């Protein structure tokens, strides 16, 4: 069989839209049980029973990441906490992180969504699926774990890091499929070749699910050639559960977004008005099948477009294009989301430091690296041992905040560039 859920995946558009409307109406009624939406609906005069068509969605207010932060930890939850069985949270110790809660049904639906994606690209129950995503709070860990288990794969929760161990698992367990972020896929291939393992001959790898960070078609092709596999783009975000929101089919021409779970809009980020199919804008998503934490018109900040026309694979769910960037300053490094403000908050805790800093992100020998240069306060010492100790201390705090280990360079006051009176904060030299 070609589809995991043929009746849903190939549902005629009219029926699919009728299903969306029914689910949207139900979601709006239940969303009022969350303190956040209750207040928002009252303030904006939203009456769920006035929503009569999918077009009426445009009359509803947007939800942003700041709303999640301001309502931390449980202000967005629409069911009693005792009915919630899982919580995922973003990184960060200095500001409020975002939190997403799930009911048991939410987790079952999410696993189904991921299984549907994996089945779509030819992964079956006889496959050995190794997940190199971070577990714990990273949704790519448990998200793929439950999806792969639902599909019936022999699932290896290898988690992130330790390339030699990953390779041992791949060869010893006969791993056929990997979930891996694109930048790490090239790093892993490099370590394999250095170990005299040719992944194309010496492993059983055939399919990769790659996502969680921007990457180009050229990068995909390079990964496919290096590892002798087909690699499929997967999109997810924690606020929308995690992986499984949209996924490429075997046509490798756009990601099908599962519209029985999510309503997709693409808007002009400035006017907030919808853009035409084919035009790039901000992706805005509404959950229509989630109990614990419904989100209405969520600003993802990701820039993409709807690919017009039907997909030859027969699925009727819309396709979105490879991401073109973001409308905010979030960086993704080693699969970890980083806002420059997080770095600033840590640096500003140290009285020894001045206020000018520069973040450079670069791919060095197949590793994405972050270098933070920060000016010292002009009154501070030039004693080497003291500076070394300070560096160590700052890096430790940064690692706690960011979950990656940056390189840190302390420089003298006035040595970093200033442009038009405003410091240039981030230089991203990676090519996507
Ligand atoms: N996934 C898996 N392993 C990764 C990775 C990634 N995205 N990025 C780097 N690594 C590997 C490195 O290659 C290194 O292993 P090796 O030296 O044996 O080859 C090891 O992890 C440590 O990397 P390093 O760069 O020294 O450490 P760090 O402290 O800066 O980063 C990580 C630590 C990699 C564990 C952290 O960035 C992480 O957990 N990333 C995964 C996030 C994730 O899963 N996101 C997906 C969400 S869907
Ligand atoms: P997280 O909430 O940690 O899962 O991160 C979600 C963000 O990662 C998204 O909003 C995107 O910016 C980015 N992302 C996830 N998947 C992809 C992908 N396939 N291509 C490009 N960016 C992605
Ligand atoms: Zn398709």
pLDDT per residue as tens digits for the range 172-228: 999 999 999 999 999 999 999 999 999 999 999 999 999 999 999 999 999 999 999
Residues 363 and 299 in one domain: no
Instruction: Give the atom of ligand 2 at the shortest distance from the alpha carbon of 255.
Output: 19
**pLDDT at 288 (0 to 100):** 98
Residues 318 and 341 in one domain: no
Ligand 1: residue of 88, 159, 335, 407 to mutate (most ligand atoms within 8 A of CB) is 335
| Tokens of residue 316, six digits | 């009727």
Residues 404 and 269 in one domain: no
Contact indicator for 413, 373 with CB cutoff of 8 Å:
no
**pLDDT at 380 (0 to 100):** 80
Residues 415 and 311 in one domain: no
Instruction: Give the atom of ligand 1 at the shortest distance from the alpha carbon of 139.
Output: 48
Beta strands in 34-162, from DSSP E residues, in sequence order: 84-89, 99-103, 128-131, 154-156
**pLDDT at 410 (0 to 100):** 96
Instruction: Give the atom of ligand 1 at the shortest distance from the alpha carbon of 133.
Output: 44
Last residue of a domain, one of 267, 297, 327: 327
Residue 117 CA to ligand 1 centre (angstroms): 24
Nearest-CA residue for ligand 2 atom 17 is 212
Residues 286 and 341 in one domain: no
Closest CA to 96 of 417, 312, 345, 397: 345
pLDDT digits (tens, 9 = 90+) for 279-318: 999 999 999 999 999 999 999 999 999 999 999 999 999 9
Residues 322 and 387 in one domain: no
What is the pLDDT confidence band of residue 422, given thresholds at 50, 70 and 90? low
Question: What are φ and ψ of residue 107, in 5° steps?
Answer: -65, -40
Which whole number is the average pLDDT over 243-250? 98
Residue 383 CA to ligand 1 centre (angstroms): 33
- Longest CA pairwise span in the chain (Å): 72
114-123 burial string, b = 16+ CB within 10 Å, else e? Answer: bbbbbbbbeb
Residues 292 and 166 in one domain: yes
- Residue 415's SS3 state is coil
Q: Could you identify the residue written with the tokens 């026309």? A: 309
Residues 26 and 128 in one domain: yes
**pLDDT at 93 (0 to 100):** 75
**pLDDT at 367 (0 to 100):** 87
Which whole number is the average pLDDT over 122-127? 98
Closest CA to 238 of 22, 76, 37: 76
Mean pLDDT of the chain: 95
Residues 276 and 306: their CA atoms lie apart, in Å, by 8
Q: Is the pLDDT of residue 420 over 80?
A: no
Q: Is the pLDDT of residue 23 over 60?
A: yes
CATH number at residue 210: 3.40.50.12780
Mode of pairing for the β-strands spanning 336-338 and 331-333:
antiparallel
- Residues facing 243 on adjacent strands: 236
Residues 348 and 367: their CA atoms lie apart, in Å, by 28
Among the residue ranges 165-174, 241-250, 271-280, 420-429, the one predicted with the least confidence is: 420-429
| Tokens of residue 146, six digits | 């439950």
pLDDT digits (tens, 9 = 90+) for 337-361: 999 999 999 999 999 999 899 999 9
Instruction: Give the atom of ligand 1 at the shortest distance from the alpha carbon of 164.
Output: 18
Residues 305 and 403 in one domain: no
Last residue of a domain, one of 284, 307, 327: 327
- Residue 274's SS3 state is strand
| Tokens of residue 185, six digits | 């896929």
Instruction: Give the atom of ligand 2 at the shortest distance from the alpha carbon of 210.
Output: 19
Beta strands in 37-138, from DSSP E residues, in sequence order: 84-89, 99-103, 128-131
Residues 323 and 235: their CA atoms lie apart, in Å, by 9
Question: What are φ and ψ of residue 76, in 5° steps?
Answer: -100, -5
Which whole number is the average pLDDT over 227-255? 98
Last residue of a domain, one of 280, 308, 327: 327
Contact indicator for 327, 303 with CB cutoff of 8 Å:
yes
Q: Which residue has the higher pLDDT, 422 or 183?
A: 183
Contact indicator for 178, 226 with CB cutoff of 8 Å:
no
The reported pTM is 0.96
**pLDDT at 421 (0 to 100):** 56
In this structure, what is the dihedral angle of CA atoms 360, 361, 365, 366, given to the nearest 10 degrees?
Answer: 180
Residues 292 and 353 in one domain: no
CATH number at residue 406: 3.30.300.30
Contact indicator for 46, 73 with CB cutoff of 8 Å:
no
Range of the domain at 190: 1-327
Q: Is the pLDDT of residue 79 over 70?
A: yes
**pLDDT at 354 (0 to 100):** 93
DSSP state of 52: -
Residues 33 and 111 in one domain: yes
DSSP state of 54: G
Residues 293 and 201 in one domain: yes
Ligand closest to Cα of 333 equals: 1
Q: Is the pLDDT of residue 431 over 90?
A: no
Residues 85 and 216: their CA atoms lie apart, in Å, by 37
- Residues facing 423 on adjacent strands: 418
Which whole number is the average pLDDT over 221-243? 97
Closest CA to 188 of 212, 159, 166, 157: 166
| Tokens of residue 318, six digits | 């819309």
Alpha helices in 196-262 (DSSP H): 199-202, 217-227
- 8: part of which helix (H) or strand (E)? helix 6-9
Q: Is the pLDDT of residue 382 over 90?
A: no
Residue 242 CA to ligand 2 centre (angstroms): 9
**Site residues for ligand 2, CB cut-off 6 Å:** 139, 211-214, 233-238, 242, 300, 302, 323, 326, 332, 337
Ligand 2: residue of 64, 182, 213, 241 to mutate (most ligand atoms within 8 A of CB) is 213
Residues 54 and 57: their CA atoms lie apart, in Å, by 6
How many folded domains does the chain comprise? Answer: 2
């Amino acid at each position: 069989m070609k589809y995991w859920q043929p009746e849903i995946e190939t549902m005629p558009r009219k029926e699919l839209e009728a299903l969306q409307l029914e689910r949207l109406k139900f979601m709006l009624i239940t969303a009022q049980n969350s303190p956040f939406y209750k207040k928002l609906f009252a303030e904006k005069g939203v009456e769920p029973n006035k929503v009569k068509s999918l077009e009426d969605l445009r009359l509803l207010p947007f939800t942003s990441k700041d709303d999640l932060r301001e309502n931390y930890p449980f202000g967005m939850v629409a069911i009693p906490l005792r009915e919630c069985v899982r919580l995922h949270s973003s990184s960060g110790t200095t500001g409020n992180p975002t939190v997403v809660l799930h009911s048991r049904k939410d987790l079952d639906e999410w696993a189904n969504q991921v299984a549907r994606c994996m089945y779509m690209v030819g992964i079956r129950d006889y496959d050995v699926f190794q997940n190199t995503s971070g577990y714990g709070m990273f949704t790519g860990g448990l998200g793929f774990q439950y999806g792969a288990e639902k599909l019936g794969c022999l699932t290896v929760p290898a988690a992130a890091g330790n390339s030699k161990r990953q390779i041992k698992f791949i060869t010893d367990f006969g791993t056929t499929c990997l979930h891996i972020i694109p930048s790490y896929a090239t790093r892993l291939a490099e370590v394999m070749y250095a170990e005299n393992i040719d992944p194309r001959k010496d492993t059983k790898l055939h399919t990769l699910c790659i996502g969680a960070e921007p990457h180009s078609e050229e990068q995909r092709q390079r990964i496919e050639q290096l590892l002798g596999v087909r690699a499929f783009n997967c999109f997810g975000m924690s606020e929308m559960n995690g992986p499984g929101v949209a996924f490429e089919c075997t046509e490798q021409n756009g990601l099908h977004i599962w519209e029985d779970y999510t309503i997709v809009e693409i808007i002009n980020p400035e006017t907030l008005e919808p853009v035409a199919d084919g035009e790039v804008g901000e992706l805005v998503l509404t959950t229509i099948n989630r109990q614990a934490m419904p989100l209405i018109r969520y600003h993802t900040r990701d820039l993409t477009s709807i690919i017009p026309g039907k997909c030859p694979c027969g699925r009727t769910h819309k396709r979105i294009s490879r991401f073109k960037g973001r409308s905010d300053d979030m960086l993704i490094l080693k699969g970890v989301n980083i806002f420059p403000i997080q770095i600033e908050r840590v640096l500003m805790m140290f009285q020894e430091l001045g206020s000018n800093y520069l973040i450079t992100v670069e791919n060095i020998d197949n590793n994405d690296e972050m270098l933070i240069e920060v000016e010292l306060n002009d009154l501070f010492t030039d004693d080497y041992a003291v500076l070394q100790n300070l560096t160590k201390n700052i890096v430790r705090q940064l690692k706690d905040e960011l979950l990656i280990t940056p390189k840190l360079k302390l420089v003298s006051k006035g040595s970093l560039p200033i442009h038009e009176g405003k410091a240039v904060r981030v230089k991203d030299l990676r090519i996507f």
